[in-house]
Structure 1
Amino acid sequence: MDPSEQLYERDAEGWRRGLYEDVESTFRAPIVNWFFRTLTANEPEFARYLWAQCKPLFQTRAFGRYTVSYRDAVLSALEDAAADVPRYRRADLGLRPPEWRELRGQIATFDIVAPRLAFTFAVCDRAMNGDLPETDPTGEASTAPLPAWLDRDRGRSVTMLDDDAVPADLEPTVDEIRDFHGLEGGLPSIYRCLAQWPDYLEPAWSDLEAVLESDAFERGRDDADAVVDDHIEKLPYAPRLSPTALSERGFDDATIDDLREFVRQFNRGAIETVLPALVVYAATLDVDGERSL
């Protein structure tokens, strides 16, 4: 697995283009995450198989409840501690109306995908390492459809700068961001996106750094993780992603080991702070989504 090798949406053709369209439609967000882009570039047959196994898990009412509970867990912890999360207006940042509209729409997209990616990484990691619990859901929500209106059509297509295109004036801010998240490689998509609007990113990071380093945010992260764990314990079925299942599917042992390590890396490290932070950034622009269902 070469994490620098990715298949971007603009280059996808044939079934790969269809797969990306299906991911966007199912996630209800116009973005295909690095996770899927890397898998499709390196192990396309596995990417297609994984998506077929996992897609139905994103389409239930119970999953909808999980997504809003994840968001609420992060923000409620900050509100309970009276953390000073800023709320910006366009005039505060000096942005033109088109810039303001794009910024808010693109951050709404990240707010939509945050709980979906947290679940994706967790369920795939556990399934591929034999850690999924046995489930026997009985409630209607476990098999009822995801509400058609939830998170529908509120995000905008995401644009991002390359790592080497970040403005020099932003480098001190980016260095602080790297230190906080423990980043060693490239910047996550959210920051490559926000770097397009230095007039937002600089004051937002200045105002949020103490919030994200607070005990309240740590509690919010823990509460969000608990929401993920609780939902995984009530899945309507377990995706067949165990080493045994993958071997039966025709993947060799070396490939399976590489894939297990790749997926585990996505479920550890910087992502533990990056994903819940997406919800906080959305709140600063008043584009955070529903918090109850």
Structure 2
Amino acid sequence: MKRLGVSHPEREEDAMKERIGFIGLGNMGAGMAANILKKGWPLTVLAHRSREAVDRLVAAGAKEARTARELAENSDIVVLCVTGSPQVDQAVNGPDGLASAGKPLMIVDCSTSDPASTVRLAAELKQRGITLIDAPLGRTPKEAAEGTLDVMVGGSEEELARARPVLEAFAGRVIPTGPVGTGHTMKLLNNFLSMGYAAIYAEALMLGARAGLTPTTFDSVIRGGRMDCGFYQTFFDYVVNRNPNAHRFAISNALKDMTYLASFAQSATVANPVGAAVRNSFAAAVATGHGGDFVPTLSDFVAGQNGVDLTKV
């Protein structure tokens, strides 16, 4: 295992690139970090729950830090891909956090975070010589591994110009959205659409099943028509084919994002009744112990709540 502090020869092209740190090697982050390393960026990673991705990256040439502070000391740009705002704040301001290194740093937050928290944290860090931009992600772990994610970036033109080469290591599209915070706002709206579809699909399948319509019949009508889309296809890969990994996004994360959306609507003093209904669909699933299941299984939960088994229609 390569540890920081152990000298080793650097490739000449690596020496010409900024050093990248990566925190958050989960379903999305592991593929993103692998692509950063594959594209020749010097990479330092930090372990959290699982060592599998860390060990794989270290074997491929990455370094491993023991703390976020140590990672910051050996990085110029740090990419975060954690669950949400509390985890971002912990990585930055927690004990031995990134900010404790006391050095200029660019932090690229690819998490799905609360926009208000992002704006506040960016302003605080700016006073300490640290730049924070938001760069949340669209698409799935499959595209993360393939290096074809969509990235929505909130930051200045100069900040985006610096971060873009790193983002393009794992992105097919990099879309500027405006000043810091707008990337996370757009991400919430994107997830509102997708989680809204999930809630509608689940309810429609339940209603159809009550009338004797099988999920396969439902799919044969929708697929290829005007209501078909990429999200529909991954959702129904689970519904029809029972592929457990069709869409690896936890119901608890969906609830977190819809809760951020509710907070955003409240701060904007607007009514969002559809958003509240979507949030409640996921809240009910989480409250009954299904938070760790992936989003397409919401169809089974809604069906079960109404006395229907979609596998036996």
Give the TM-score taking structure 2 as reference length.
Answer: 0.24
Higher radius of gyration, 1 or 2: 2
More helix, by proportion:
1
Higher RCO (C-alpha under 8 Å, 6+ residues apart):
1
TM-score (norm 1): 0.25
Task: From the two aligned structures, give the one with the greater strand fraction.
Answer: 2
